[in-house]
């Protein structure tokens, strides 16, 4: 690879994200467990309770949602980081879960239109470079009437907390491409979804969204 090609690779958001999450993968489960208890408590269960049929999880990470899905669901997952995906595959094997887990990019999903009944994305739109493009892809692969289920940290409703998020973001965007002042609800509405549920928790820093793709 030439020096110019290496420079382009370093600047590519997907390549950068892959390198960041490959590096984070070995310690990710230990690091996230505290935040799941203190910040995102009940979020994974909330997602899984609403998932049904053919389920696609976008940015499945290390597969931490896998233990919570209902027995009748057929699970497919896509993940940018090979290292994270390897952990997810091992978790699926340990659970005796026949999940189809693939490497890929949330902004370019490798499935045809109307392939899934439910799309889930947990704690990932905060790092996907173009969340609007990812949401458009999620809509494309959903059947009419299909469910979109999102969980993420978002911009707080409290100005002092928002200010702290903005300051923290100055580091996290550079280090890992992670945003704390995004909010996905407007993107979901702009994509044409019908919002069934939208709830904010923890001083407005956590949002759960249940939306439906219109039938026509």
Query: Does residue 210 contact residue 148 with C-beta atoms inside 8 Å?
Result: yes
The predicted model gives 42-65 an average pLDDT of 97
What are the domain boundaries of the chain? 3-212
Q: What is the pLDDT of residue 14?
A: 84
- Closest listed residue to residue 81, CA positions, set 177, 183, 181: 177
Alpha carbons 61 and 31: distance in angstroms, whole number: 13
12/10 Cα distance (integer angstroms): 6
Q: How far is CA 8 from CA 11, 16, 81, 103, 158, in A?
A: 5, 10, 19, 21, 39
Confidence class for position 17, pLDDT limits 50, 70, 90: confident
Residue 11: which pLDDT band, with cuts at 50, 70 and 90?
A: low
Q: Is 125:50 a contact under the CB 8 Å cutoff?
A: no
| 56 close to 115: Cβ distance less than 8 angstroms | yes
Q: Across all residues in the chain, what is the average pLDDT?
A: 93
- Strand-pair partners of 121: 150
Degrees (nearest 5) of the Cα angle 108, 109, 112? 120
Confidence of residue 102 (pLDDT cuts 50, 70, 90): very high
pTM (predicted TM-score): 0.93
Q: Where are the alpha helices (DSSP H) in 69-130?
A: 82-94
Instruction: State the Cα–Cα distance between residues 78 and 56, nearest whole angstrom.
Output: 8
The predicted-structure confidence for 110-163, as pLDDT tens digits, reads as follows 999 999 999 999 999 999 999 999 999 999 999 999 999 999 999 999 999 999
In the block, which residue shows the tokens 């994200």? 17
For the cut 70, the answer to whether the pLDDT of residue 166 exceeds it is: yes
User: What is the dotted CATH code of the domain comprising 3-212?
Assistant: 3.40.50.150
């Amino acid at each position: 690879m030439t020096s110019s090609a290496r420079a382009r690779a370093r600047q590519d958001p997907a390549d950068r994200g892959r390198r960041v999450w490959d590096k984070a993968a070995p310690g990710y489960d230990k690091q996230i467990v505290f935040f799941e208890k203190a910040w995102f408590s009940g979020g994974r269960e909330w997602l899984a309770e609403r998932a049904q049929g053919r389920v696609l999880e976008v940015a499945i990470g290390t597969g931490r949602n896998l233990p919570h899905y209902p027995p009748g669901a057929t699970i497919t997952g896509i993940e940018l980081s090979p290292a994270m995906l390897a952990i997810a595959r091992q978790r699926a094997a340990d659970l005796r879960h026949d999940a189809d887990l693939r490497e890929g990019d949330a902004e370019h999903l490798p499935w045809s239109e109307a392939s899934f009944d439910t799309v889930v994305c947990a704690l990932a739109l905060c790092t996907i470079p173009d969340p609007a493009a990812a949401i458009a892809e999620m809509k494309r692969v959903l059947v009419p009437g299909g469910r979109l289920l999102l969980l993420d940290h978002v911009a707080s409703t409290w100005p002092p907390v928002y200010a702290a998020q903005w300051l923290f973001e100055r580091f996290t965007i550079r280090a890992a491409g992670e945003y704390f002042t995004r909010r996905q609800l407007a993107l979901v509405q702009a994509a044409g979804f019908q919002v069934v549920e939208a709830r904010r928790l923890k001083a407005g820093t956590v949002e759960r969204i249940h939306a439906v793709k219109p039938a026509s």
